[in-house]
Chain A
């Protein structure tokens, strides 16, 4: 269409069932739209997003030779892509579309103010039309996508995502900060409700991940820096000094010797003993160590904070293997990937801060994860559940559910449900009844939430096996200083009577929270967080794996509490979502990037540090400096455009004339002014 053609705007009002039509007068808004300058057609429909609704747009574009389309409906987050597609089908550039959000921002908030909401809808439509008159054709930009992906965190979620990506033919970096992959799941003894041995079902996955030709396992490695954007992330990894080399690393370093084969001779001579974090500090490890027998990769790691560099390990390792290097330092590695999946997992809250439950104050109060290690056949006690104070077998074990979860108070209280504590406490109850004849578990609960497939049946089974259920949140735990037995104080709320149950051991089902370094990783990748610190998905229902940063996806508990099936399901979803742009080979970026009007640019460079995405730089052009935008990095936030002292930066799709027209149309018309 001709450049100087008078704008011809079509306006479409959506009823959204009663979401909009139930709170305001749609017909009045339509009539009003018809009176606006340059509006050549105004229509309404029950569901504009439906096929007949979209056909109205397509037909009107042809019948009325429109230059711009306005839909007054729900939210651009939900339906802007739908209406843009319809606009394009009608023959217009898809950026000739503008949305007025008369549902989320109007009918939903002014539900009981018919007149007020109708007037506001008129304002919103008028403002949208004002902008639509100035809309321009824009062309999306395509960028190539690197045929590689990265998964941060190699627990069960990270491993699953990496395996799926690798099986789809994508080179995948699996980055894990610990010396072994496996994550929390490898610390568990059994898994509910099937009572599979956790390690037994996890180890094959660990082996698969370790051997897959498309997976590059980066254990004992942290993400140091992230640059770039979807399709082209340049990520710097810090490979922490491990102190040993495997065969491949020996070859790469040009050293003689076969490298670490995991024989463990080094650990047997190491004189330094430290607590093993894998065993929740309940078992020792040496300064040169592996976490547990099933580690992947089977390679020893030196804890250089503890190592005294006596060299005994190096001597026994010998020149044939020559695996140990006591002078090893961290090294940095740069990799380029198209998409990233974050799967950074969780920690237990510092439950000792809830002093009334006595964790770390009373020896026989432990957490669920400590119980897992104590009941596990490969754990520090060989699977014999003992109580820490005297090594006796506990016959009465109290399980405190909602220990910090569903708790609105400040400090360590977490308002959310941690989702798997009910089920693992049921499992723990089963395990003690199975392993210790005559042992009685007492479960102190507020609700039992057994929401999954076969979970309620598991609850039934444990109840039938003789576990005692007391409905009441534990108020306090006190210790008998002589016997070290614990008195669990609560109200049996179904009886309406306070009870004080003497237990030999108490297991706190502590709430979970994001890992301490989750915040640093989140900021590096530009991912938002929810109020509780969990990573924020793009949409809680319709985009639970994506984030608001293109190319970054989420899997597992880093996004919110989840059990193993849900984690694995989300990991598969995230892998599928991440593989789409990689397989497409290129992605289209919305053309909202800033543009430098070089005639106006003074080359002052003040915009460059303002940009939060590092998209701006100064270049030499015809004897002077001007600013230039790396369009693929620009998110169109407008920080530079608002800041530029010379007005030389133009924000596409949000130009100053467009925004001024919106403001004018809001202010001038109701005040009787003229445009």
Chain B
């Protein structure tokens, strides 16, 4: 007796979808925008894995730069931008140095981060960093422990940055305001509360 094929069963259909090559999820515009923003030839990636092999983050995390390169090629926008691993790149550029096809995978990640920010997908710590830079000129501001250590080493308590010249903070704020970065960071953080 013939087994019922069970087409039209939503549960089965979603399971079958998983075996696809995700062509239905592909967004060609995403590939094009990544290529444009990164200024690199991500579509030339032949998946050799040198990038992941070089990555200082990969052995300690689930971050796989090669997979992001594949997502860039296939245009898997949602998969790439909603993956929290996107934010684990340290931008050390080891992958870019060693890529045998002269691609800059680091810049592909940077492009994807920009596109994620357009959709308000940014981890809170990155947004808090924006606030810190806006307010102090530093991603990691000086603190008393550091100051004591610096004094012990015979250095001035504060480095010759905005910590010593707070009058320049205003300039930094102007740049950040121009891109509405702080504004957006505040908004996204507030919405997340």
- Which residues 51-80 of B sit at the A interface, judged by CB distance below 8 A? 51-55, 58-59, 64, 66-67
* Minimal beta-carbon separation of B30 from chain A (angstroms): 21
Contact present for A473 and B50 (CB under 8 Å): yes
Interface size on B, residues (CB 8 A): 21
Contact present for B102 and A475 (CB under 8 Å): no
Against B, the Cβ 8 Å flags (1 = close, 0 = not) of A477-508 are 00000000000011111001010100000000
Against B, the Cβ 8 Å flags (1 = close, 0 = not) of A443-482 are 0001000000000000000000000000111111000000
Q: Which residues of B contact A500 (CB under 8 A)?
A: 59
Against A, the Cβ 8 Å flags (1 = close, 0 = not) of B120-142 are 00000000000000000000000
Contact present for B100 and A476 (CB under 8 Å): no
Contact present for B67 and A473 (CB under 8 Å): no
Partner of A406, one of B55, B59, B100: B100
Contact present for A490 and B53 (CB under 8 Å): yes
Contact present for B49 and A491 (CB under 8 Å): yes
A5 at the interface (CB under 8 A from B): no
Contact present for B101 and A493 (CB under 8 Å): no
Contact present for A409 and B58 (CB under 8 Å): no
Interface of A is mostly: loop
With A498-B58, A498-B59, A500-B59 known to touch, is A491 a contact of B52 (CB < 8 Å)?
Answer: yes
Contact present for B102 and A473 (CB under 8 Å): no
B189 at the interface (CB under 8 A from A): no
Q: Which residues of B contact A356 (CB under 8 A)?
A: 54, 98
A356 to B52, CA, bound (A): 14
* Minimal beta-carbon separation of A413 from chain B (angstroms): 6
A408 at the interface (CB under 8 A from B): yes
Contact present for B46 and A446 (CB under 8 Å): yes
Q: Which residues of A contact B58 (CB under 8 A)?
A: 491, 498
Q: Which residues of A contact B99 (CB under 8 A)?
A: 409
Quick one: closest A residue to B55, CB to CB? A498
Q: Which residues of B contact A413 (CB under 8 A)?
A: 100
With A491-B64, A493-B66 known to touch, is A498 a contact of B100 (CB < 8 Å)?
Answer: no
With A476-B53, A489-B53 known to touch, is A446 a contact of B48 (CB < 8 Å)?
Answer: yes
Contact present for B53 and A475 (CB under 8 Å): yes
A489 to B47, CA, bound (A): 16
A413 to B46, CA, bound (A): 16
Contact present for B100 and A496 (CB under 8 Å): no
With A493-B47, A493-B48, A498-B58 known to touch, is A475 a contact of B66 (CB < 8 Å)?
Answer: no
From A402, A446, A492, A498, name the one whose CB has the most chain B CB atoms within 10 angstroms.
Answer: A498
Contact present for B49 and A473 (CB under 8 Å): yes
Q: Which residues of B contact A471 (CB under 8 A)?
A: 49
Q: Which residues of B contact A475 (CB under 8 A)?
A: 49-54, 94, 98
Against B, the Cβ 8 Å flags (1 = close, 0 = not) of A318-337 are 00000000000000000000
Q: Which residues of B contact A472 (CB under 8 A)?
A: 48-50, 52-53
Against B, the Cβ 8 Å flags (1 = close, 0 = not) of A609-634 are 00000000000000000000000000
Quick one: closest A residue to B63, CB to CB? A498
* Minimal beta-carbon separation of A218 from chain B (angstroms): 41
Quick one: closest B residue to A492, CB to CB? B49
Contact present for B49 and A490 (CB under 8 Å): yes
Contact present for B53 and A498 (CB under 8 Å): yes
* Minimal beta-carbon separation of B43 from chain A (angstroms): 14
A407 at the interface (CB under 8 A from B): yes
A319 to B126, CA, bound (A): 88
Contact present for B49 and A408 (CB under 8 Å): no
A493 to B55, CA, bound (A): 13
Contact present for A409 and B64 (CB under 8 Å): no
Contact present for B48 and A473 (CB under 8 Å): yes
Q: Which residues of B contact A407 (CB under 8 A)?
A: 100-101
Contact present for A476 and B54 (CB under 8 Å): yes
Given A475-B98, A493-B49, A498-B55, output 4 extra A-B contacts at Cβ < 8 Å: A356-B98, A409-B102, A472-B48, A490-B53
10 tightest A-B contacts by CB? A475-B53, A491-B49, A491-B52, A473-B48, A472-B49, A407-B100, A493-B49, A475-B54, A490-B53, A498-B58
* 5 A–B pairs (Cβ distance < 8 Å), ordered by A: A408-B102, A409-B99, A446-B48, A493-B47, A498-B55
